[in-house]
Amino acid sequence: MVRMIRESFAVVEPHSEEVAKFFYGMLFSLSPATREMFPANMEVQRSRLLRALVHVVQMVDRPDDLIPFLRQLGRDHRKFGVINVHYEAVGTALLSAVKKFSGAAWTPKVEMAWAEAYTLMARAMQEAADADNGPAYWHATVLEHQRVSWDLAVVRLQPDHPVSYKAGQYVSVETPQRKRLWRYYSPANAPREDGVIEFHIRSVDGGWVSRSVVGHTQAGDTWRIGPPMGRLSVDRTAGSDILMVAGGTGVAPMHAIIDEMAQFGENPRVHLFYGGRTREDLYDLDNLQRIATTNPWLTVVPVLESDPGVRGVEQGSLADVVTRYGAWEDRDVLVCGSPAMIRSTVSRMLVAGTPLDRIKYDPFTLD
């Protein structure tokens, strides 16, 4: 089943834009009510569908990773008002789209493999959604919007009820300026008694939501926050030291984990490589170095790609610098940043000898 799914998807993937258009057209035809769950402009949504499919196909033979991911996805989809009948329409539309662009690669056996795989996926998502008694989303009020630079803002929010996230996880958010355009962001702080959540958001090219947040969010705005997702975490009792690799605002979940660890006297050693193109990209470096001065278990290494005049930093890409130090085969590895940064870093580390089962990263971290 795994082989047939991957081989047929390899045929379809070059036609990803057409596949996504056909899928959503079929879905809205089968279930017109689902159209109201999505924004008027579907361009970004179509690319997110492809990323989700790629991620699932990559993990289809790793159920220990795939099932928890699907269960989180099922809980997250409650915020849209998804019910069981919608899963049937999605399955029909998905198989129709893959079939249309598979050509001769689509056979009765391939169709059966996709149908069985989707049934397992949908069941995991539905069971998780049905078992979740928590809210489908939280309302949160913006307390502060701090413009750190022309393209970066720190936003602090007060949810109406504490959001039950763990340090390192990410959540989906919807802002009043961009309704129905949900985006995933990682809290940059560990859960606090007062419930306040801090997000570090950089404006990206073509980013409808990120550009709006950086440029137009105001104190008093009401956001919606979806259920927590993600598998970036540190088990302090496992006995393994930690390697963190963060690019740009990908440092936010690492900061949250470090924030939580700093509450304890003893911790595993943490080696954080924090990278960007220029010194301005390392907006959180001073805060992290301040934490390191009073927590000897933490080592922070700044990395710059395009700023050779800066002293006290490693020069090069994160992939270059991290692997320059070795394979890190005895560490648990957490990676967060842009998809391109994650791909290059993980692939270089695998070539260097880092075991795949020791590397963790999350798939949905971009606008």
Give me the DSSP letters along 326-347: ---TTEEEEEES-HHHHHHHHH
pLDDT at 315 over 90: yes
- Determine whether 205 is exposed, middle or buried from the number of CB atoms within 10 Å of its CB (0-12, 13-18, 19+): exposed
* DSSP H helices in the chain: 2-12, 16-30, 43-59, 63-76, 84-102, 108-131, 208-216, 251-261, 285-293, 318-324, 339-352
DSSP helix/strand/coil, 120: helix
Measured distance CA(346)–CA(264) in Å, rounded: 30
Structure tokens at 127: 């069971």
Measured distance CA(267)–CA(231) in Å, rounded: 19
pLDDT at 45 over 60: yes
Any idea which residue has 């001769």 for tokens?
A: 104
pLDDT band per the 50, 70, 90 thresholds, residue 81: confident
Domains recognised in the chain with CATH numbers: 1-131 (1.10.490.10), 138-229 (2.40.30.10), 241-361 (3.40.50.80)
pLDDT at 365 over 50: no
Structure tokens at 21: 């258009």
Share above pLDDT 90 across residues of the chain, in percent, rounded to a whole number: 69
Measured distance CA(82)–CA(179) in Å, rounded: 17
What was the pLDDT predicted at 239?
87
What is the average per-residue pLDDT within 291-310?
94
Angle at CA of residue 88, ends 87 and 94, nearest 5°: 85
Structure tokens at 178: 């961009």
What was the pLDDT predicted at 181?
87
DSSP helix/strand/coil, 124: helix
What was the pLDDT predicted at 325?
94
Query: Rounded mean pLDDT of the chain?
Result: 91
Cβ-contact 183, 213 below 8 angstroms:
no
Per residue in 142-170, pLDDT (tens digit) is: 999 999 999 999 999 999 999 999 999 99
Per residue in 334-352, pLDDT (tens digit) is: 999 988 899 999 999 999 9
Share above pLDDT 70 across residues of the chain, in percent, rounded to a whole number: 96
Measured distance CA(90)–CA(102) in Å, rounded: 18
- Residues paired with residue 242 on neighbouring β-strands, in sequence order: 270, 332
pLDDT at 304 over 80: yes
What was the pLDDT predicted at 22?
93
pLDDT at 26 over 50: yes
pLDDT band per the 50, 70, 90 thresholds, residue 367: very low
What is the average per-residue pLDDT within 198-208?
89
What was the pLDDT predicted at 364?
58
Q: Measured in whole angstroms, how far is the alpha carbon of residue 219 from the centre of its chain?
A: 26
DSSP helix/strand/coil, 274: strand
pLDDT band per the 50, 70, 90 thresholds, residue 50: low
Cβ-contact 158, 133 below 8 angstroms:
no
pLDDT at 40 over 80: no
> Could you tell me the CA-to-CA distances from 116 to 73, 84, 247 in Å, in that order?
19, 17, 38
pLDDT band per the 50, 70, 90 thresholds, residue 54: confident
What was the pLDDT predicted at 336?
96
pLDDT band per the 50, 70, 90 thresholds, residue 128: very high
Written in H, E and C, the secondary structure of 26-38 is HHHHHCHHHHHHC
pLDDT band per the 50, 70, 90 thresholds, residue 208: confident
